[in-house]
Structure 1
Amino acid sequence: MYFDVNLDSDIFDYYINHDYKGIVIAGSGSGMISKRWKSKIKEMTKNSIAVVRSSIATSGSVDRDSIDREYRTIPSYTLTPLKARILLSLALEKSNSYEYLKGVFEKY
């Protein structure tokens, strides 16, 4: 999902209510997102939905940040949103454990 400051955060209720296992959010700049989205992201991660932070920027990296510790999100590092989605899909076939997924993104 691409971040848009005007996109209502209630869109995440769909993912929460339909048993999604993971989502990649392409945030602005270095993968940053709004306060409205953060509360929904916390709700998703509490419901065991993996949330990977990526960026719409064409270069650079989304590195670990305080948001990852607080909201249990996973940075995509140098992966584009599409590549992060593919890696997340593959990793979720094995486990949806936060520690496992975090390790996969750190490695690849």
Structure 2
Amino acid sequence: MAAPEMERAPMAYPRFERPQGTQTRPSQLDRPYYNHNFNADRTYHIGPYHPPRGFQYRRWAYGDILPGIFWGQDYWLTDYWLFGLDVPPVGYEWVRYGPDALLVNITTGEVIQVVYGRFF
């Protein structure tokens, strides 16, 4: 597992401002840009996390395969821009996994990027 890095500002829009064209997503994944594990530079409180039955926290990293039960639509962060997260490419979604934000391929479950400790 690669060591977490200091978090950088999201690509394509200023942090904490609603991006223009929030529905305009990159059509292809730029792996060198996305494949990172970050420690959050800021945390957000958005309410309790309601994990699936049998949940036990695990620290995921890019390249891991997240089981489907953890990336169903109930866990999608569709307002990702409010949390300073990158615009996800087509076919990818940000999901909340306990205190972390994970960018996941919604077909395969592959974790593309992680922001550890984004939520408390």
User: Normalising to structure 1: TM-score of the pair?
Assistant: 0.28
Which structure: greater strand fraction? Answer: 2
Which structure: greater helix fraction? Answer: 1
User: Based on CA coordinates, which of the two structures has the bigger radius of gyration?
Assistant: 2
Higher relative contact order (CA 8 A, sep 6+): 2
User: Normalising to structure 2: TM-score of the pair?
Assistant: 0.26
